[in-house]
Amino acid sequence: MRSCWEVLEIQPTTDADLIQDTRRSLIKTWHPDTATSVKQKELYNSRAAEINAACDKAMAFAKAWKPVSGWNQGSASKPNVRPSSTVVGTWLHVLGKPVGAGGSWKSR
């Protein structure tokens, strides 16, 4: 199974606006109404569903990132940000790694 980043062909550091733009662009290409045959329509339906699901996961991840106070004081190559606990769980889910017992991302 491909990650949401591979489906959308974007980097994990992409912001919410670019994720939406990418989704719109891919859906224009893969919308089932643009298919010319029944077989092609089935393929387009599954691809559009995959794109929408990937967009939902990527948006949840992008919205969960929270900058640390003073974030603009970090260097350009290494911004001073930290993920929330939701992001860590989402990121582990995206990578296909099991989350620990009780929903904790920490190993026990």
**pLDDT for position 104:** 45
pTM metric for this prediction:
0.60
**pLDDT for position 82:** 52
Fold of domain 4-103: Helix Hairpins (1.10.287)
**pLDDT for position 71:** 53
Q: For residues 75 and 46, is the Cβ–Cβ distance under 8 A?
A: no
**pLDDT for position 64:** 81
Residue 90 tokens, joined: 């989402």
Residue 79's CB is within 10 A of a number of other CB atoms, namely: 13
**pLDDT for position 95:** 52
| Token pair 């733009």: residue | 21
**pLDDT for position 108:** 39
**pLDDT for position 102:** 47
Strand, coil or helix: what is 59? helix
User: Which residue ranges of the chain lie beneath pLDDT 50?
Assistant: 74, 80, 98-108
